[in-house]
Structure 1
């Protein structure tokens, strides 16, 4: 019963961040926790992990499924140590769960893997598979 202890260094006391929390494709009912303008499209646990490690956060990756996900493929979750043993914030610039989610939403689009994915798309590639002469019956 980790919630009864005051020790914030226990892994069970760390906060959980699921990719759905910062996914701009999700609605609030589907699990999004912050504003759509601050979210990123379809984040992965690997991207969240990379961003959090770059900020100096203490994290753990777990292979868990978010209960509101419609597709049942395991996507995982990230556990982040929010507070020190005495209850003070581990990192002063991220004192709350929401501030960490905002940081994740702002930082993932800056990753090199995200910039390479979106750099080469053109309109001609998107219309490739469509039929122009399709008639209604």
Structure 2
């Protein structure tokens, strides 16, 4: 992880990326900021950090929560600060000119991570079980 060499107040110029911004399981009202078809299922801060660090971007991970995130689990905690511009206002990387560029890049790269390709979608089976539980309750009268 890159460290700031200049004034610590410079981190205020870094943009914030919360996992909820690129989470396909969230609605726009819950904080998602990119189209659901391009979003990733339950991304974590470490995945966002890993992808951006591999791309050579200056990142900081902070232990903060998104204001609309009701789930206080550890997997939903965290915020990644990303440096888009230098102190003089010039871009750090040509491929990232905006916050949206960063979010779309991260959502495209997270599914390619080794941690994602090795494990199957474990969260899908748990959501199916909860649906089955609801149906069973309706049948009991």
TM interval, short-chain normalised: 0.7 to 0.9
2: CA distance, partners of 1:91 / 1:70: 34
Shift, 1:119, TM fit: 7.8
Tell me the alpha carbon deviations over residues 101-122 of structure 1, each in whole angstroms, 9 at most, x when there is no partner: 00000000000000111289xx
What does residue 59 of structure 2 align with? 59
Tell me the alpha carbon deviations over residues 6-55 of structure 1, each in whole angstroms, 9 at most, x when there is no partner: x9x81011000000000000000100000011100000001000000010
Shift, 1:88, TM fit: 1.4
TM-score, with normalisation over the residues of structure 1? 0.80
RMSD value, Cα:
2.5
Count of residues in Structure 1 that have an aligned counterpart in Structure 2:
123
Q: Which sections of structure 1, spanning at least 5 residues, go unmatched? A: 1-6
2: CA distance, partners of 1:136 / 1:86: 67
Deviant stretches of 4+, over 3 Å: none
Greater C-alpha Rg = 1
1:101 aligns with 2:103: yes
Q: Which sections of structure 2, spanning at least 5 residues, go unmatched? A: 1-6
